Chain A
Amino acid sequence: KAGVTQTPRYLIKTRGQQVTLSCSPISGHRSVSWYQQTPGQGLQFLFEYFSETQRNKGNFPGRFSGRQFSNSRSEMNVSTLELGDSALYLCASSLGAGGTDTQYFGPGTRLTVL
């Protein structure tokens, strides 16, 4: 079974621009979660989507948003990019049943903001 895929793998943007990242979950998985990883803050939870609805949200500003499509693929958008948004963005998919649902991570998208 194919794993979680993320596109693009690397991205360079300038301040003020916006960016969209894509995540395709493992087949059959209905939940997609997004995380930001920086050297200073570590891995931080952004939000989770399940059945096209945001189900859980972390503590990030409204510039960070996402959506999920009917095929469970998800996109994450960051508007008005700041230098501090440079990070590895990871998505993880799971069945979505909650409980002891295990999350499986993709390889990440490395975003650099200049």
Chain B
Amino acid sequence: DAKTTQPPSMDCAEGRAANLPCNHSTISGNEYVYWYRQIHSQGPQYIIHGLKNNETNEMASLIITEDRKSSTLILPHATLRDTAVYYCIVRVALYNFNKFYFGSGTKLNVKP
């Protein structure tokens, strides 16, 4: 699986949009981008995933650049409960290959 690079930490004001970047310059054509978050010592929570088109769900939006070498997770209106470590993962989409490689993630601090 391709490696990802994320900033170690970011701050965001409550109510504002949080934009979390991820670099995955070695991503290959059959690799998806996944985002999870982990709130202190709980199990990681799935947020969103995509291949090349932008995706949106009730939690967030995922913007993937045209060359697919980077992506941005957008939390449109961050709340204090969004404070967590956010992991960007690229994962090959093959039948019977089901393991995720987690990097160091970005610690998002949402401040009042």
Q: Which residues of A contact B (CB under 8 A)?
A: 4, 31, 33, 35, 42-45, 48, 50, 55-56, 58, 88, 90, 92, 94, 96-108, 110
Contact = CB atoms under 8 A, between A and B. Distances in A.
Interface residues of B, number: 24
Given A97-B95, A102-B49, A108 B101 contact: no
B98 A43 contact: no
Nearest to A55: B96
Overall SS of chain A's interface? strand
Contacts of B97: 56, 98
Given A99-B93, A100-B32, A100-B93, A33 B42 contact: no
A86 to B, nearest CB: 13
Contacts of A100: 32, 49, 93
A108 B40 CA distance: 12
B103 A106 contact: no
A88 B93 CA distance: 27
Given A99-B93, A99-B94, A100-B93, A105 B45 contact: yes
Contacts of A104: 46
B96 A98 contact: yes
Contact of A33 (B41, B45, B99): B99
A45 B93 contact: no
Interface in B64-112: 87, 93-105
Contacts of A101: 98
Closest 4 CB pairs of A and B: A105-B43, A43-B102, A98-B95, A45-B99
B98 A96 contact: yes
Contacts of A35: 102
A109 B46 CA distance: 19
Nearest to A98: B95
